[in-house]
Amino acid sequence: MSKVLSTFSPWSRHISKTVPSCRYFSETISPRKGIPRLVAVAEEYTTTEAFRSRSFELEKPVVFGKDQGSPAANLPALENWFIDEEDPYYTTYTDTPRQPLSWHFRRFRNPVVTYEIYAPSQKQKDSLVMFRDSLDRDIHDDAIVRSWDNCFNQEAVVDGVLDDTVNNTANRDFYRFTAPLRLFNKIYHFNRVLLSMGLPRISVYIAQCPIGDLPKTLQDDLPTPDIIKFVGKGDVYDSSIWLGIVPTYTPLHRDPNPNFFCQLSGNKTMVVYERRT
């Protein structure tokens, strides 16, 4: 089983699901008409025994409501990682732009994680160039600059021949690279600059980061829910988190094992198809 933790699973325990590396970003996603919607089960059906008999053994999807006994409601990350949008300190007593991630999370600046960025339009690519220019004006961060340049300034190979006249950024839409965790916060704040200029923001995604790669303090914020440990053999083979700046869209895919998905922040629309052999 895999566990997926998502902000913005076999059973493997992750904060989001194992998915293809190619991810698309869209401003609007409208559910198709006629698709039945799963409603959250009543709290009395959120016990391990009820989940096992009504869902797990029948291989049927189930939704646990936030205030109806959801196992995710007990994850410390819900309180420790995010700042409450209604916190009066951030809405009344300070002019500082609201920071969605708490200091508890942001103080871990150095762990290296995998990022994905999708920028198909020229304006989106211009936003990437502007962000790179901002890194030179900001307090220099060698690790971030090096990671960024290794991805976006790679020499292009055309028909097997190195061509240094080709702008590799302009000829690609999808970018995947590793960089320190603090890059996410830098892009988040730079997006405010882009929006003030009427330019598209950078849609960045921390993709499938193993929970075991996080600092111990953050790992402790994401314990495996008891319902996962006891519903089957307890064989959680993988756990990962996904952290992204909305909006994002994950292509249709098939996971080989059951997933337990925990939405820690924001909203996500999921479409589930019945398995056919």
Q: How far apart are the first and last CA of the chain?
A: 20
Strand partners, 157: 162
Interval 23-81: pLDDT, tens: 544 444 455 667 788 889 999 999 999 999 999 999 899 999 988 889 889 999 999 99
Q: pLDDT grade, residue 169 (50/70/90)?
A: low
The pLDDT assigned to 233 comes to: 80
Across the chain, mean pLDDT equals 80
Q: Return d(Cα 172, Cα 25) in angstroms, integer.
A: 15
Best CA proximity match to 194, nearest among 139, 123, 136, 122: 123
Interval 203-235: pLDDT, tens: 999 988 999 999 999 999 999 998 988 988 877
Residue 184 has pLDDT above 60, yes or no: yes
Backbone angles phi, psi at 112, to 5 degrees: -90, 125
Mean pLDDT of 184-199: 94
Residue 16 has pLDDT above 70, yes or no: no
Residue 19 has pLDDT above 50, yes or no: no
The pLDDT assigned to 93 comes to: 45
Q: Give yes or no for a cis peptide into 215 (omega within 30° of 0).
A: no
The pLDDT assigned to 273 comes to: 84
Interval 94-112: pLDDT, tens: 444 456 789 999 999 999 9
The pLDDT assigned to 13 comes to: 40
Percentage of residues in the chain having pLDDT higher than 70: 76
Strand partners, 162: 157
Let me know: does 59 contact 51? Beta carbons within 8 Å. Answer: no
Residue 156 has pLDDT above 90, yes or no: no
CB atoms within 10 A of CB 181: 22
Strand partners, 176: 116
Q: pLDDT grade, residue 2 (50/70/90)?
A: low
Q: Return d(Cα 261, Cα 12) in angstroms, integer.
A: 10
Q: Return d(Cα 61, Cα 83) in angstroms, integer.
A: 30
| Contacts of residue 2, Cβ cutoff 8 Å, sequence gap at least 6 | 9, 10, 11, 12, 13, 14, 17, 18, 236, 237, 238, 239, 240, 255, 257, 258, 259, 260
Strand runs (DSSP E) across the chain, as ranges? 2-7, 112-118, 156-158, 161-163, 174-180, 204-210, 238-244, 260-265
Task: Tokens for 96, please give them.
Answer: 């500082």
Interval 65-86: pLDDT, tens: 988 889 889 999 999 998 865 4
Let me know: does 225 contact 72? Beta carbons within 8 Å. Answer: yes
Q: pLDDT grade, residue 165 (50/70/90)?
A: very low
Q: Return d(Cα 31, Cα 15) in angstroms, integer.
A: 23
Q: How far is CA 221 from CA 65, 74, 254, in A?
A: 20, 10, 28
Phi-psi region of 69 (alpha: psi -120 to 50; beta: other; left: phi over 0): left
Q: Return d(Cα 191, Cα 27) in angstroms, integer.
A: 15
The pLDDT assigned to 103 comes to: 92
Q: pLDDT grade, residue 246 (50/70/90)?
A: confident
